Amino acid sequence: MLAFAKEHRERRLLLGSPIESKKSASSAPPSGSGAPAGKRPGPFSLVLSWAGANKRYLFASVACASIAGLMTMVGYLGVFNIMRAAYEGTCTSSTLRDNALLTAVGCVLQYACFAASSVLSHKGAYKTLFDVRCRVMDHLAHAPLGALDERGVGRIKTVLVEDVERLELFLAHSIPEAFMYLTGPVAAFAFLCSVNAPLALATLVPFACALVILGVIFSRMSKVMERATAALARMNAVMVEYVGGMRTVKALDMGTASFARFRRAIDEEHGLWCEIARKTGPGYAAYLVVIECGLLIMVPLGGWMFATGAVAGSTYLLFAFVGSLYLTEIRLLQEIGTKLAQVGSGARRVQELLDVPAFGGGRPFPDRADIELSGVGFSYDGSVEVLSGIDLSVREGERLAVVGPSGAGKSTMVELVSRFYDATAGTVRIGGVDVRDIDYDDLLRNVAVVFQKTFLTSGSILENIRMGSDASLEEVREAARLARIDDFVMDLPQGYDTEMGSLGNRVSGGQRQRIAIARAILKDAPILILDEATSAADPENQLEIDAAIANLSAGKTVIVVAHRLGVVRTCDRVAVVEAGRLSCVGEHEEVLRRCPYYARAWADYDRARSLEIGFGASASASAPAAGAPVSASGASAPDPVSAPDPLAPPDPSAPSFVAPAAGARAASAEPLAGKEARHA
């Protein structure tokens, strides 16, 4: 889940506003979907309201379906005419021909209208599905990450895929089919009433019994359906977890153990569907039998009335044939009922996502890009304080390193600046303006974040760098050149059109990271937040990444969560976060003197690098650890100041990054690099 959240953060930040046309809808106050607080509309009204302008297709579809429904009765009429003529002795070849023709025309019209209805309803339905998915995605993109973490990727996927897909059942099938199955019988009933009202009413007896049975089926269905959908969501969640964590599953040989969880989820879902079949099967059978048993009533009842002279022979024939069969047309309503139960619960879950409070509009992003945290506190779950009493200022154009033990709250603190979460106490300001008052899309456009873990979509490299912007190929290439990834891309047979999926393992972690940096360069935001990465890169890649980051950070206000201590010396100031509090802020030398944790970290760092150099020297006399900066004091080991400066402005005249292989390896052993372990 954490991985999903991180990926989402990156995508969101780099996209700015993915669906600009939806901005007005999403810039509502954080009340979710904007539905009125009082009486909530029912699930079907909701679906119809989501259909919006697409309702015109649905209306046209309903009109066609109604005509198709009326046409079903034409066949009954044609056959009845022939029966009556035969009974009255007036049946001629022209009677047969005319009624056969009438029946044939009725059939052709019925299918033509049904086909037209189907095409129109599907068109309206799929357009609506698209709109609803965009609406939910856009809404979630404006929601705090905590709300997404709570729900889990599997659950959100179930809603976006399965539940939204169910709306298609309602819009493309249930509505037109209901009209088709009902209009014919309603017209037939009206006609029968005009001939003999008491007998016509008697035809409704099986229908009334069938309705009672349907009611029972639905009430049973709706209870189990909720559980079945929840079980499906759980199965999805476990499946996503299982497939997403396949590397770890393999690495730790957890195959059988983790599969057992998956198996349990599948069994649960299977069990629920068996329960549904058990509970509804007998009712469904009873419904079908009852709805088809009109003959059992109409033949004896009509026969008795005919025998007593209450009705004419032709009337008896009409009721014995049409009266006992016309209601069989509505037997398929049961299927509609089943679909409706599913649609209703799906629509409620879609609405539940749309009700997640979302960040909305506000003031434009300020002119200044300084950052100020005053009295900031934060808790993910409302009980455990992850941050408290943070007071910190970052000047415009300043480079601030944030260091601290693993889990101290460094990432959380910087995430409050980009409003992944809102501070639960105190205020975060940019340019003197509370971030909560800044238009959310504008804020995201002006804050770029580069994460340790790079999220790439399956699209082309071009799309991956553009991330929804309308940058030209030349602009993308310029960003890629600065990110030191252009050469790699141009060497690929399809260059920027290469699909990421087709590259498989041919893209290293470092190359991925440089693609992510190219995105951020293209975004050109005045504030840059860098969750500094080390794990993805080998020494050579690290040099390239450092160069790319140097280009990215030139002229920006930068906060870097530093996992390599060497990076700290390239920053103007250091902030140390310990156990959710800011224990020290200042320039390196000052913090080294005042902060025991920081002094210890540097001592450990020096020791680790000395060991590394020693190991390197003994392992290969011919591979000296050139320029390895080790000591914080700069006495006995090379000075960390000479370590590569990933944040320094690029100097085209000199190779500014001289990180040695040994140094880079040592960096990966730093005590500060803790997040990697947690993510694993």
Fill in the amino acid letter for 452.
Q
Query: Which among 549, 575, 554 has a CA at the least distance from the CA of 644?
Result: 549
- Residue listed under structure tokens 């029966």: 83
Size of the site for ligand ATP (CB under 6 A): 15
Residues 26, 411, 464, 541: which binds ligand ATP (CB under 6 A)? 411
Stretch of 186-194, 267-275, 340-348, 407-415 lying at the interface with ligand ATP (CB under 6 A): 407-415
Residues 346, 409, 616, 650: which binds ligand ATP (CB under 6 A)? 409
Residues 14, 51, 408, 450: which binds ligand ATP (CB under 6 A)? 408
Closer of 343 and 666 to ligand ATP (Cβ): 666
429 belongs to the binding site for ligand ATP (CB under 6 A): no
Burial of 253 (0-12, 13-18, 19+ CB in 10 A): exposed
E strands present in 534-612: 557-561, 573-578, 581-586
What character string, x for contact with ligand ATP (CB under 6 A) and - otherwise, covers 145-164? ----x---------------
Shortest distance (Å) from residue 450 CB to ligand ATP: 14
- DSSP H helical ranges for 161-254: 164-168, 175-195, 197-202, 204-244, 246-251
495: left (phi over 0), alpha (psi -120 to 50) or beta: left
- Residue listed under structure tokens 């229908």: 207
Closer of 292 and 604 to ligand ATP (Cβ): 604
Closer of 297 and 416 to ligand ATP (Cβ): 416
Closer of 337 and 409 to ligand ATP (Cβ): 409
Instruction: Assess contact for 588 and 595: CB atoms under 8 A.
Output: no
Shortest distance (Å) from residue 407 CB to ligand ATP: 4
Shortest distance (Å) from residue 577 CB to ligand ATP: 6
Residues 12, 84, 151, 410: which binds ligand ATP (CB under 6 A)? 410
Stretch of 192-200, 409-417, 504-512, 590-598 lying at the interface with ligand ATP (CB under 6 A): 409-417
Query: Which among 514, 525, 578 has a CA at the least distance from the CA of 555?
Result: 525
Closer of 327 and 574 to ligand ATP (Cβ): 574
What character string, x for contact with ligand ATP (CB under 6 A) and - otherwise, covers 1-30? ----x-------------------------
407 belongs to the binding site for ligand ATP (CB under 6 A): yes
Paired residues of 390 in beta bridges? 376
Angle, CA 289 vertex, CA 284 and CA 294 arms, to 5° = 135
- DSSP H helical ranges for 27-171: 43-51, 55-88, 93-141, 145-151, 153-158, 164-168
Residues 229, 412, 460, 551: which binds ligand ATP (CB under 6 A)? 412
Closer of 180 and 386 to ligand ATP (Cβ): 386
What count of other Cβ atoms lies within 10 Å of the Cβ of residue 301? 20
Shortest distance (Å) from residue 414 CB to ligand ATP: 8
Residues 36, 38, 94, 678: which binds ligand ATP (CB under 6 A)? 678
Closer of 247 and 678 to ligand ATP (Cβ): 678
Closer of 5 and 254 to ligand ATP (Cβ): 5
What count of other Cβ atoms lies within 10 Å of the Cβ of residue 13? 24
Say how many CA atoms lie within 13 Å of 377 toward its Cβ: 12
Closer of 14 and 386 to ligand ATP (Cβ): 386
Shortest distance (Å) from residue 410 CB to ligand ATP: 4
674 belongs to the binding site for ligand ATP (CB under 6 A): yes
E strands present in 424-523: 425-430, 433-434, 447-450
Query: Which among 540, 516, 543 has a CA at the least distance from the CA of 530?
Result: 516
Angle, CA 133 vertex, CA 131 and CA 139 arms, to 5° = 100
404 belongs to the binding site for ligand ATP (CB under 6 A): yes
Residues 386, 392, 574, 630: which binds ligand ATP (CB under 6 A)? 386
Angle, CA 122 vertex, CA 116 and CA 125 arms, to 5° = 140
What character string, x for contact with ligand ATP (CB under 6 A) and - otherwise, covers 91-130? ----------------------------------------
Stretch of 28-36, 42-50, 293-301, 402-410 lying at the interface with ligand ATP (CB under 6 A): 402-410
Q: What are phi and psi of 215, to 5 degrees?
A: -55, -45
406 belongs to the binding site for ligand ATP (CB under 6 A): yes
CA distance 228 to 269: 6
Where do contacts with ligand ATP occur on this chain (CB under 6 A)? 5, 149, 380, 386, 404, 406-412, 674-675, 678
